[in-house]
């Protein structure tokens, strides 16, 4: 509902004016009585001539009367918005006859919440609408601030008004911040008018997901050849499930839909390669048979190969522009503005919604990557960016080059920082809108997850966890990959910690099996050890005063087929991920046992050291037949039994079990740093309401020991 008001400036109030007139009337009461009697006599005599005059002049008087009640009209296109949406504002100015007019200066527009002006993206307080000649209205958009509070908001348009006599008006008290502006207006005119309209900012709470969700992923094509199992033997595609079980993952996430032409041309009728799609039903069924959940994701906007779009569907692909020559080139990412890609992703999601044994639906590469300057016109039309003088007269190449320069070379400068933030907000708005459309068009009720690049909590790549949650995403999965240094990783952690509060989004961070992106670390920590540490750091520090829901380990093919593993076998990387999974679940207390492991930091090569395993029953139920198994890792052997058992452990009882381990020999390639890992298993049973019975009943603990 909109509201209009006129503010009088430098004039007496209506109340004061009425009192003045009353005093004048009272002082001349007797004179008025004589005059009134005389007028009555005259009116009786002139009744007929006056009636004729009224009939002749009535139409002319009506034509001169005001046809509009108020000069300013403000409209909002919807009663409520989520945080990923643009608030569309329309303002029309009319004269006394109701005709739309254009002012020398557009009206000022602000947004208020709790009676305070809201500062939005890039420090913007005031919106300057642009005039739409075709429809004779002013238009602008308000980007909802990052992490905006839910509640009622007020859009307010304000402009000077020189002639106030023809309009209905009232005199509310001006707000303190308007005092100076009121005085300046009084110098130029007699007042100003204000139109207001209310709207609501809504937030969507993340859906309840059970804590401790830990997934292993498969990103490559469905395997046709044999795979290496964790124990080193070979198997068929079912070895993927062996790796999940070895790690204690409760879910396998599989890359299902990808636009790649390695196996043949694709079209708009068949936008995704079929070999992975065809494998989904049997893989999902096999996962469920082993007690694993199963998720499938689509590569949303990246396509392969990356060097050409030949034989790919005829999408609108993202555009880049040379900063030196102005030459426009096509990229391998589909444009975020192409509606056909949204339709195809929604069709895939709907297919997964209707496929048995599929529990989760995911999206990767939900972003524009570099370039994307085909979005320049829409971006600059919708965002309150400061544009150079003469922008409307520039050609396309000049506009694109300007945006590209601001985004890619000026983004850290004082001039470009605000522009860059607005570019990132607008892209994040686009990706969230896409998720919302996919869920709506595909009628998706299964949980949807989205992989996020971790920098600036995703926003540096046009992704935002709160926006995506408002759009309907059930789980946000930040990728801890491609970190150039430990300092780089710490910067990522700080940005998440400063941004995220408990309950804002479901977060599940994961790391990648890759020696290079762990800086080929040997000492003081080994690369798999660093993977474990980064996953645990994300779990405890990404959310201020909270924890992430789970974690993921990426990906099985790097351990089972080919990957940059360094001197560490895939099994060792998997044990590091398994240990992270176990610790995440222990922090949520979804296991009946709490396990800790202590070990010497150093040990002599060829000598024996004694790690100790502490096991505590944290339930009210006895746990029987607990198994402790020393895992097989390079250059470590048991000195004594590899397997031990605890026949029973009573409610609240704690026991410490020693193991004896020998380092068999040196290994310079790994700087003589060796993993010792143990696995604790227990039988199925009802251990109380807090213990998740659907999780694998295994806890993996690991430590690295420096050989000397």
For 604-614, what is each residue's pLDDT tens digit?
A: 999 999 999 99
**Mean pLDDT value across residues 29-47:** 37
Give the pLDDT of residue 31.
34
What is the structure's pLDDT at 454? 87
586: β partners: none
Contact present, 434 and 379 (Cβ < 8 Å): no
Range list for CATH 2.60.40.1930 in the chain = 72-202
The stretch 489-505 carries a mean pLDDT of: 95
Q: How far apart are CA 354 and CA 529, in angstroms?
A: 40
Q: Does position 323 have pLDDT exceeding 90, yes or no?
A: no
Determine the pLDDT at residue 345. Answer: 98
Quote the pLDDT of residue 21.
40
**Of the options 3.40.50.970, 2.40.30.20, 3.40.718.10, 2.60.40.10, the CATH number for the domain spanning 589-708:** 2.60.40.10
Give 274's contacts (C-beta < 8 A, 6+ positions apart).
263
Report the distance separating Cα 675 and Cα 493, nearest Å.
26
Nearest to 691 by CA among 595, 615, 586: 586
Nearest to 653 by CA among 687, 620, 694, 608: 620
The Cα–Cα gap between 566 and 667 comes to 13
Average pLDDT over residues 478-492: 94
**CB–CB of 574/559 below 8 Å?**
yes
Q: Average pLDDT for residues 439-445, to the nearest whole number?
A: 98
Please state which CATH number belongs to domain 72-202: 2.60.40.1930
DSSP state string for 497-545:
HHH--TTS--BEEEEE--SGGGTT--SSS-HHHHHHHHHHHHHHHSSTT
674 touches 663 (CB < 8 A): yes
Taking the CA atoms of the chain, what radius of gyration do you get in angstroms?
35
- What's the chain's average pLDDT? 89
Does the structure show a pLDDT above 50 at 405?
Answer: yes
Dist CA 301 CA 365 (whole Å):
6
Cα–Cα distance measured from residue 628 to residue 581, given in angstroms and rounded to the nearest whole number:
18
199 with 78: CB under 8 angstroms? yes
pLDDT value for 4: 57
Give this prediction's pTM: 0.87
158-172, 253-267, 656-670, range with the lowest pLDDT: 158-172
The region of weakest confidence among 45-49, 384-388, 491-495 is 45-49
Average pLDDT (103-112) is: 93
Once rounded to an integer, what is the mean pLDDT over residues 321-334?
Answer: 93
* pLDDT value of residue 68: 55
Residue 404 has pLDDT above 80, yes or no: yes
CATH 2.60.40.10 segments of the chain:
589-708
Q: State phi, psi for 302 to the nearest 5 degrees.
A: -85, 145
CA nearest to 366, candidates 145, 86, 80, 84: 84
- More confident position, 336 or 181: 336
Query: Which of 16-25, 52-61, 87-96, 392-401 shows the lowest per-residue confidence on average (mean pLDDT)?
Result: 16-25
Whole-number Cα distances in Å, 28 to 15, 20, 49, 533: 21, 13, 31, 94
- Tell which wins on pLDDT, 61 or 318: 318
Strands 86-93 and 137-143, by their bridges, are antiparallel
Query: H-type helices in 165-238, by residue range?
Result: 179-188
pLDDT tens digits, 514-534? 999 999 999 999 999 999 999
The torsion angle over the Cα atoms of residues 426, 431, 432 and 434, rounded to 10 degrees, is 130
pLDDT above 60: residue 355: yes
Of residues 12 and 200, more confidently modeled: 200
Looking at residue 554, what is its pLDDT? Answer: 98
For residue range 125-140, list pLDDT tens digits in order.
999 999 999 999 999 9
Q: What is the mean pLDDT of residues 166-180?
A: 53
The alpha carbon torsion through 215, 221, 224, 229 (nearest 10 deg) reads -30
Torsion (CA) 160, 163, 166, 170 in degrees, nearest 10: 50
Q: Nearest-CA neighbor of 255 among 211, 220, 301, 208?
A: 220
Mean pLDDT of 200-219: 96
Element at 33 (helix H, strand E)? helix 29-45
Checking DSSP bridges between strand 661-663 and strand 608-609, what pairing results, if any?
antiparallel
Triad 694, 510, 300: Cα angle to 5°: 100
The span from the CA of 422 to the CA of 439, in Å, is 26
Average pLDDT over residues 87-111: 91
How far is Cα 577 from Cα 249, in angstroms, rounded to an integer? 9
With contact defined as beta carbons under 8 Å apart, do 263 and 326 qualify?
A: no
Please determine, for residue 16, whether its predicted confidence score (pLDDT) is greater than 50. Answer: no
How far is the CA of 310 from the CAs of 94, 262, 303, 341, 708, in angstroms? 54, 11, 11, 17, 57
User: What separation in angstroms does the CA of 184 have from each of 10, 106, 178, 650?
Assistant: 11, 17, 10, 80
pLDDT band at 44 (very low <50, low <70, confident <90, very high): very low
Percent of the chain's residues with pLDDT above 90: 80
Least confident of 288-292, 410-414, 570-574, 591-595: 410-414
161 Cβ partners below 8 Å, 6+ apart?
6, 71, 167, 189, 190, 191, 192, 193
Pairwise CA distance, residues 482 & 478, whole Å: 12
């Amino acid at each position: 509902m909109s509201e209009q008001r006129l503010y009088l400036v430098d004039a007496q109030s209506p109340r004061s004016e009425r009192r003045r007139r009353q005093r004048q009337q009272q002082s001349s009461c007797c004179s008025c009585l004589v005059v009134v009697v005389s007028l009555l006599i005259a009116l009786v005599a002139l009744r007929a001539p006056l009636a004729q005059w009224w009939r002749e002049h009535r139409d002319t008087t009506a034509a001169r009367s005001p046809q509009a009640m108020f000069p300013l009209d403000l409209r909002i296109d919807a009663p409520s918005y989520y945080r990923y949406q643009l608030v569309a504002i329309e303002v029309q100015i009319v004269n006394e006859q109701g005709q739309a007019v254009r002012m020398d200066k557009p009206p000022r527009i602000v947004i208020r919440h709790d009676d305070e002006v809201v500062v939005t993206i890039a420090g913007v307080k005031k919106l300057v609408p642009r005039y739409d000649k075709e429809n004779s209205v002013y238009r602008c958009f308000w980007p909802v601030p990052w992490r905006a509070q839910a509640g009622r908001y007020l859009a307010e348009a304000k402009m000077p008004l020189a002639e106030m006599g023809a309009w209905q008006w009232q005199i509310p008290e001006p707000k303190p911040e308007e005092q100076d502006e009121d005085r300046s207006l009084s110098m130029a005119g007699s007042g100003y008018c204000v139109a207001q309209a209310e709207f609501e900012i809504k937030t969507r709470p993340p859906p309840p997901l059970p804590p401790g969700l830990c997934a292993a992923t498969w990103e490559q094509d469905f395997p046709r050849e044999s795979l290496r199992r964790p124990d080193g033997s070979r198997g068929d595609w079912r070895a993927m499930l062996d790796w999940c079980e070895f790690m204690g993952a409760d879910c396998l996430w599989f890359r299902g839909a990808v636009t790649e032409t390695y196996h043949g041309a694709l079209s708009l009728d068949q936008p995704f390669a079929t070999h992975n799609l065809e494998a989904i039903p049997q893989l999902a069924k096999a996962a469920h048979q082993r007690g694993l959940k199963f998720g499938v994701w689509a590569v949303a906007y990246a396509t392969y190969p990356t060097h050409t779009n030949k034989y790919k569907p005829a999408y609108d692909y993202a555009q880049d522009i040379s900063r030196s020559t102005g030459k426009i080139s096509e990229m391998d990412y589909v444009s975020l503005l192409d509606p056909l890609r949204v339709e195809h992703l929604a069709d895939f999601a709907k297919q997964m919604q209707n496929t048995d044994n599929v529990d989760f639906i995911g999206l990767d590469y939900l972003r524009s990557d570099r370039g994307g300057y085909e979005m320049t016109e829409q971006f600059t039309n919708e965002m309150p960016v400061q544009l150079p003088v003469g922008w409307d007269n520039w050609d396309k190449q000049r506009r694109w080059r300007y945006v590209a320069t601001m985004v890619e070379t000026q983004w850290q400068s004082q001039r470009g920082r605000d522009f860059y933030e607005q570019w990132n907000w607008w892209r994040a708005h686009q990706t969230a809108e896409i998720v919302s459309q996919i869920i709506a068009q595909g009628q998706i009720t299964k949980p949807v997850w989205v992989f996020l690049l971790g920098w600036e909590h995703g926003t540096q790549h046009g992704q935002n966890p709160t926006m995506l949650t408002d759009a309907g995403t059930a789980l946000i999965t930040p990728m801890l990959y491609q970190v150039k240094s430990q300092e780089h990783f710490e910067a990522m952690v700080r940005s998440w910690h400063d941004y995220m509060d408990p309950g804002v989004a479901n977060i599940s961070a994961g790391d990648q099996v890759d020696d290079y992106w762990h800086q080929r670390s040997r000492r003081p920590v080994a690369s798999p050890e660093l993977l474990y540490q980064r996953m645990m750091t994300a779990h405890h520090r990404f959310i201020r005063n909270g924890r992430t829901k789970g974690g993921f380990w990426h990906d099985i093919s790097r351990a089972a087929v080919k990957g940059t593993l360094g001197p560490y076998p895939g099994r060792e990387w998997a044990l590091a991920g398994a240990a992270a999974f176990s610790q995440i679940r222990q922090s949520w207390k979804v296991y009946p046992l709490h396990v800790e492991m202590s070990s010497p930091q150093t040990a002599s090569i060829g000598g024996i050291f004694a790690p100790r395993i502490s096991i505590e029953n944290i339930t009210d139920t006895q746990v029987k037949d607990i198994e402790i198994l020393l895992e097989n890792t390079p250059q470590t052997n048991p000195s004594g039994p590899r397997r031990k058992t605890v026949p029973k452990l009573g409610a609240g009882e704690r026991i410490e079990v020693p193991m004896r381990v020998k380092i068999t020999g040196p290994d310079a390639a790994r700087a003589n740093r060796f993993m010792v890992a143990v696995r604790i298993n227990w039988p199925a049973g009802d251990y109380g309401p807090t213990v998740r019975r659907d999780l694998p009943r295994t806890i993996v603990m690991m430590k690295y020991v420096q050989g000397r």
